[in-house]
Amino acid sequence: MKLFTGLKKIREFERGQLPFLKTVVDFDIVIEIGYAEEQEQQLTLKQLFLLNLSSRTTVRRKLARLIEREIVIRRKHASDQRASLLTISPSIVKVLGKYGGTLTSISTLHFK
């Protein structure tokens, strides 16, 4: 299979399975929160802002939408009630796992 055929399949998966990731900033937010979880760390709202993914206002707006849609879960830190901890919803982690598998299978088969 050719390059653009593989890319088309990836975009079809994204549109069908990841409609909640409307922009690159949405995707970046989810990736950074998920990456922190993989590293067995908990990302706070302040740490997310410090990553400079976009302006603070944009990150705050995009994050609020992701929380509202239950893609990101925001909860208070147990020992510091001022801090908010961010995690990815388990159902979204499952969908993103399928996405990773799709990317791997398409790239392995088609981009050699």
pLDDT per residue over 38-88, tens digit each? 999 989 988 999 999 999 999 999 999 999 999 999 988 777 677 789 999
Among residues of the chain, what percentage have pLDDT more than 90?
54
β 72-76/43-44 pair status: unpaired
Q: What is the pLDDT of residue 104?
A: 84
d(CA 60, CA 45) in angstroms, rounded, equals 9
pLDDT band with cut points at 50, 70 and 90 for residue 1: low
Q: What is the mean pLDDT of the chain?
A: 88
Predicted TM-score (pTM) of the model is 0.84
Domains detected in the chain? 3-110 (1.10.10.10)
Angular region, 24: left φ>0, alpha ψ -120 to 50, beta rest:
alpha
The H or E element that residue 72 is part of is: strand 72-76
Spell 24-56 as b/e; 16+ CB within 10 A means b.
ebbbbbbebbbebeeeeebbbeebbeeeebbee
Q: What is the pLDDT of residue 109?
A: 65
